[in-house]
Amino acid sequence: MLDETLASDHTTPGATNAEGPAVDPTAPEFFVNRELSWVDFDQRVLELAQDERTRLLERVKFAAIFASNLDEFFMIRVAGQHAKVWAENRRRGPDGRTADQTLDALRAKLEPLVHEHARVVEQDLRPLLREHGIRIARHEELDDEQKALIKTRFQNRIYPVLTPLAVGLGRPFPYISNLSLNLGVLVRDPDTRQTVFARVKLPTEVVDRLELVDNTANPNAESKEQVFVPLEEIVEAHLDALFPGMEVLDRGMFRVTRDADFEISDDADDVKRALEAELRNRRFGEIVRVEIDGKVSEALRTEIVEQLGVEERQVYDLDGLLDLTALWQLVKAPGHNELLDDPWRAVTHPRLREGDDEKSDVFAAMRRGDVLVHHPYDSFHTSVERFLEQAAVDRDVLAIKMTVYRTNADSTLLPALVRASERGKQTVALVELKARFDEQANIRWAQVLEDTGVHVVYGHPALKTHAKCILVVRREGEKVRHYLHIGTGNYHAKTANLYTDFGLFTRDQRLGQDVADLFNQLTGFAKPGRFRKALVAPNGLRDGLIEEIERTVEAHRQGLPTRIRLKMNSIVDRASIHALYRASQAGVPIEINVRGICCLRVGVPGLSETIQVRSVLGRFLEHSRIYAFDRGDQRTVYMGSADIMERNLDNRVELVVPVDDEAARDELLDALDRAFEDEEGSWVLRPDDTWERVQPADPENPKGLQRQLMELHARRAREADTE
């Protein structure tokens, strides 16, 4: 319909630029490389570590997040580009680059960024930490009593789990495991003058990376600081114990990152068994990155690089500590709460506060109308967990069905399914075994559930079930009713305190029938059909969203006030981006709030002049997905599990639903308003594809999305207490 409208205006394949010929929205120059856009996102995380307005340990936290983000990026995304190069795949991506060209561009963009990360930690954060009584010290900086204490710990706890491996005749270069920290050492026999290379793996799985020195050894010490010594410093200081009688000529740290991605064959007979086999092979993936201490000699560096057999563009020479995810240890160490944000304690939603919060009747609240909860501001425990716990013991509940993508080890949700099964209720858990880096945990949970009588389904090998939904079937009189929870985030109590997500509790029976049909399609053997209200991937979500865009364009052409507002983690899908470009060409105002990857370009004359893109980062990870379309007096608002990415729309089972309840819809729109007005942790995308930090209009009183929502929910809870 939209293409026909454009054709009638003689603008196919794009709109007419007043300053030149038509602009083709499908041209490669109007698609930002996905991998490079992700690097921009991690750079924004690094800027939070640089922000002097942020409390010190929060800055340290963001420095650690930058590092862990980068590890996963190399293991999955960069590894995928290398795999294409090794397979001699020269096909160009939607931005016109080959994989080889993308790797070169990534290297050029990442190298200064990782050096800036190291500089921020070494020159900015470490001195500030020391001023506040937290010191990361070199071994040589310790006093004699501290060195004696460290030596005892080395002998008792570290030395017994070290295994030096020399390389030489009959001793090949050892396998270097993924993300392990390694000390490379050049050792010489003083008698034969023979020199060999040896590798010592640091046992960070069983020993703290940063060893806390106990200052009580010196009762007269005036300093009350916490002193941490990196594990590699301790091992290096005691190399004589590992190589007795030998001369240590050189030493230096290095770290290897390997390809950790894998695929399960579409025709796998047993998804669980196939996945377990792939998990065993994950540690043997190809090397995609090598990090080396920038202070090592050229001879030692050459030895490491040649033995590992990598290209120079895979090698990063770094100053300071390798693997800065170790900074999490400082963030979590007790004793410095003043350097962290004040803790936030989630509140119970006012609609769920009747009687004891722990025993509130979620079903009764849902019978009075839809309830929208917003985590972490609203409590996960007194909403989602309470809903399932209540369903498990309710004598009128006949069945409970639930999707499980990620969950925590001490979850109360899955034990509630077990209790429901033990009470004779039909219980189904659709466990996604392929949830990246949570595969092993999900296999364990699936086994527990199966052993206790819960029906466990693993889904299709070619699709990840990413939808977030719980269906409770309850007998009420002569009929049965569907009670639903549909969310934007995982059923994971710990991340519900860290990620911002919405959850809709509803008795909408058309949605209930949709979700019931979805479960039956996933657990049974049926072709996907049309749903009544829900948009479901992979067979209708993209088309449904594009249809909403086209309807908005048509309304705009009819002279109605229109607007499109979207909030998500990433926008990558080309067809959706092209639809948004066409809407912009038609004059529709478009606002996009994206946390991570953004592959569209803004402000291009004749293409995207009406599109604005903003990114919000903060103490909580923005994770909710909202899709809102204004057409005159009509407002259509969706929420659900999917980002606008090919992987979500084509290769996952996703669930996005319209929110018809006026109060719930208004709350979603209020969150959108606040997201687009945020001044505390926002960046705006510019036409040159750079991200510019938003400066508050009033520096003394900036608008802050997350701070305002904490204040709003706290106030709402206080008001409920006084009623």
* CATH (domain of 276): 3.30.1840.10
Tally Cβ neighbours within 10 Å of residue 479: 8
Cα 94 to its chain centre, rounded Å, is: 24
Are residue 186 and residue 230 in the same domain, yes or no? yes
- Burial class for 661, CB neighbours closer than 10 Å (0-12, 13-18, 19+): middle
| Whether residue 237 is found in the same domain as residue 128 | yes
Dump pLDDT digits (tens) for 466-517: 999 999 999 999 999 999 999 999 999 999 999 999 999 999 999 999 999 9
- Give the tens place of pLDDT for each residue, 197-206: 999 999 999 9
The answer to whether residues 532 and 508 touch, using CB atoms and an 8 Å cutoff, is: no
pLDDT in the model for residue 273 = 52
Residues 181 and 294 reside in one and the same domain: yes
Decide if 111 contacts 294 (C-beta within 8 A): no
- pLDDT for 160-182, tens place per residue? 999 999 887 667 888 898 999 99
Evaluate whether residue 73 is within a structural domain: no
> 648, 597 in Cβ contact below 8 A?
no
> Which of 222, 238, 148 is closest to 185 using CA atoms?
238
3-state secondary structure of 253: strand
Tokens of 226: 């916490």
| Among 466, 492, 556, 578, the one annotated catalytic | 466
Peptide bond just before 376 cis, omega within 30 deg = yes
For the question of residue 556 being annotated catalytic, the response is no
What is the model's pLDDT at position 385?
A: 95
Distance CA 361, CA 298 (A): 68
Is 365 part of a structural domain of the chain?
yes
Residue 9 pLDDT class (50, 70, 90 cuts) = very low
For 56, the enclosing helix (H) or strand (E) is helix 56-73
How far are the Cα atoms of 78, 120, 413, 555, 654 from residue 107, in angstroms, in the given order?
10, 20, 43, 45, 34
Which pairs from 216-222 meet CB under 8 Å and 24+ separation? 217/145, 217/146, 217/148, 217/149, 218/143, 218/145, 218/146
Question: Is 8 in the same domain as 139?
Answer: no
The CATH number assigned to the domain holding 607 equals 3.30.870.10
72 domain-assigned: no
Residue 42 lies in a domain: no
Q: Considering the domain boundaries, does residue 47 fall inside one?
A: no
> Looking at the structure, do residues 448 and 561 belong to the same domain, yes or no?
no
In a domain, 13, yes or no: yes
Instruction: Please indicate, yes or no, whether residues 277 and 180 belong to a single structural domain of this protein.
Output: yes
In terms of domains, do 379 and 263 share one? no
Q: Which residues contact 15 (CB under 8 A, 6 or more apart)?
A: 6, 9, 22, 23, 582, 585, 586, 606, 607
- When mean pLDDT is compared over 37-51, 296-310, 455-469, the highest value belongs to 37-51
C-beta neighbour count of 64 within 10 angstroms:
22
Task: Please give the residue range of the domain that contains residue 612.
Answer: 2-30+535-722
Q: Is 59 within the bounds of a domain? A: no
User: What pLDDT does residue 433 have?
Assistant: 66
pTM assigned to the model: 0.90
Q: What is the CA radius of gyration of the chain?
A: 28
Residue 434: what pLDDT? 56
Do 196 and 301 lie in one domain? The reply is yes
Q: Are 355 and 502 members of one domain?
A: yes
Helix, strand, or coil here: 683?
strand
Which of 494, 523, 552 terminates a domain? The answer is 523
The predicted pLDDT at position 630 comes to 98
Instruction: Name the phi and psi angles at 527, rounded to 5.
Output: -80, 140
Confirm if 404 and 442 have CB atoms less than 8 A apart.
yes
Percentages helix, strand, coil for the chain, rounded to the nearest 5? 40, 25, 35
Residue 400's CB is within 10 A of a number of other CB atoms, namely 26
40 within some domain: no
Decide: 407 and 413 in contact? Cβ < 8 Å.
Answer: yes
Judge whether residue 644 has pLDDT over 80: yes
Phi, psi of 562 (to 5 degrees): -135, 160
Domain end (from 523, 556, 579):
523
Question: In this structure, are strands 134-136 and 210-213 parallel, antiparallel, or unpaired?
Answer: unpaired
Residue 6 pLDDT greater than 50, yes or no:
no
Last residue of a domain, one of 523, 558, 581: 523
Rounded Cα distance between 136 and 146, Å, is 14
Place of tokens 């090592």: 296
Asked if 166 and 264 sit in the same domain, the reply is yes
Question: Alpha-carbon distance 313 to 306, whole Å?
Answer: 13
Q: How many domains does the chain have?
A: 3
467/551 same-domain check: no
| In a shared domain, residues 665 and 608 | yes
